[in-house]
Amino acid sequence: MSSASSFIEQTLDSSPVVIFSKRYCPYCIKAKQVFDDLQVSYHTVELDGRADGSDIQKVLKQMTGASTVPRVFVNKQCLGGCSDLEEMYENNKLQTLLKSNGLLQ
């Protein structure tokens, strides 16, 4: 297993909500805002702030089929990117998922 794969696995094990992001990306900012609005804490990995960020992004593409950010995970399940997250939020599916995992009251 590559170090990027190991890092992703350890990160997903360490927090129920993980967002792989880039600081300058407006879609990443929107995705974080969804969780902020719900008052759900999350762990962010800013790929543009890491020397191995591009390696991590390549592994995320292999895992999820998408190379774009953000990549949002809840309990190790990839929910997709910003538009996927916003759609889930608007349809109350995100809130239901978070409640069923004890992450939202």
Q: Is residue 95 part of a domain?
A: yes
Q: Does residue 105 fall inside a structural domain?
A: no
**What CATH number corresponds to the domain at position 24?**
3.40.30.10
In this structure, is residue 88 part of a structural domain? yes
Q: How many domains does the chain have?
A: 1
Cβ-count burial of 18 within 10 angstroms (0-12 exposed, 13-18 middle, 19+ buried)?
buried
The string of pLDDT tens digits covering residues 33-79 is: 999 999 999 999 999 999 999 999 999 999 999 999 999 999 999 99
Split at pLDDT 50, 70, 90, the class of 1 is low
Q: Write out the residue range of the structural domain in which residue 16 sits.
A: 3-100
| Cβ contact 97:88 at 8 Å | yes
Is 50 a domain residue?
yes
Is 64 inside any structural domain?
A: yes
Asked whether residue 20 is domain-assigned, the answer is yes
The answer to whether residue 78 sits within a structural domain is yes
How far apart, in Å, are the Cα atoms of 92 and each of 38, 42, 53, 83?
11, 19, 32, 14
Rounded distance between C-alpha atoms, residue 100 and residue 6, angstroms: 27
| CA distance linking residue 10 with residue 89, whole number of Å | 27
